[in-house]
Amino acid sequence: MIQTLILLSIAFCLICLVFLLPIITEFRRDRIRNKPFPPRWKFILRKNFLIYKSLPKNLQSRLKGHIQVFMAEKQFIGCDGLELNDDIKVTIAAIACLLLLNERGEYYPKLRSILVYPTAYMVTTRQAFGDYGIAESKEARLGESRSRDLVILSWEQIKYDLNHWQDGHNVILHEFAHQLDQEDGIANGVPILSKKQDYLNWAKFFTREYKQLIADVKNGQKTVMYSYATTNPAEFFAVATETFFEKPQEMEQNLTNIYNLLKNYYKLDPTGWF
């Protein structure tokens, strides 16, 4: 009898915890979002993230709140001797949180740590050939998103991207788009959408434009999205996100269906920001 009561009490506590934890988390995040934004961080935004000044006031305020939650919840780790500072962390947080302005209610829930290298970093890759052979090689990378809990970035590449906004390349936008794609456990170019109809439209238009891009690149035609998007559907979504935020006018004119899908997903229209 006593053991049964103990087990029931434990079960009740666990059920309460499951229901209360999201409420507690949101309450804590709301307190963080409403804290005064540090003046030093605002200076960094204006200096590094030039598009910030073009955002409507309500989006500026929302972005600053998200940055504060992101900074409080995510761990930044400097690699290869890179000493992290607010300049690096706030810049990364600002661009990552640009993708969250649609109030999805999550802050990349699987992500725990952001590793930042001073320049490109080397990784060892393994590829099987034949029945028994495995070939190892070294590969230089500028960023990657791992579905488990990690994003890796090159600070040198980030600085280059900041100075070349509107060229359609942005390593932070790219890797954090992968994080959105991976939230359901599958990197397939389809993030979690709001409605069933959204999935039908996504499958229809993304598949069509993905195949068209492959054909255009193969034929040597000039494209709005760069050719890396043809690698697979996951990369297509990540590059489409880069293009959406960096070349919105061109995307709206030339890839109207894709632009409208992303506009609906991100609940933003960047064409008015430039």
What is the DSSP annotation of 157-226? HHHHHHHTTTSS--HHHHHHHHHHHGGGS--SS----SSHHHHHHHHHHHHHHHHHHHHHHHTT---SS-
pLDDT in tens, 84-104: 999 999 999 999 999 999 876
Q: Which residues contact 68 (CB under 8 A, 6 or more apart)?
A: 32, 33, 35, 37
Q: What is the dihedral of CA 5, 6, 9, 11, to 10 degrees?
A: -110
Q: Return the amino acid letter for 129.
A: F
44 within 8 A of 86, measured Cβ to Cβ: yes
For the chain, which domains are there? 188-274 (3.40.390.10)
164 within 8 A of 156, measured Cβ to Cβ: no
Q: How many Cα atoms sit within 13 Å of 81 on the Cβ side?
A: 1
Q: What is the mean pLDDT of residues 161-189?
A: 94
Report pLDDT for 272: 87
Structure tokens at 225: 């999205």
CA 3 to chain centre: 47
pLDDT in tens, 100-144: 998 766 899 999 999 999 999 888 776 666 555 566 777 788 899
What is the DSSP annotation of 60-81? HHHHHHHHHHHHHH-EEEE-TT
CB burial readout 63-88, b (16+ within 10 A) else e: bbbbbbbbbebbebebeeebeeeeeb
From the list 213, 215, 91, the residue with the least C-alpha distance to 156 is 91
Q: What is the mean pLDDT of residues 41-52?
A: 94
State which H helix or E strand residue 8 sits in: helix 2-33
Report pLDDT for 18: 46
Identify the burial level of 60 via C-beta atoms within 10 angstroms of its C-beta, where 0-12 means exposed, 13-18 middle and 19 or more buried. Answer: middle
Check whether 236 has a pLDDT greater than 60: yes
Check whether 186 has a pLDDT greater than 50: yes
State which H helix or E strand residue 130 sits in: none
- Residue 16: which pLDDT band, with cuts at 50, 70 and 90? very low
Report pLDDT for 24: 86
Report pLDDT for 2: 62
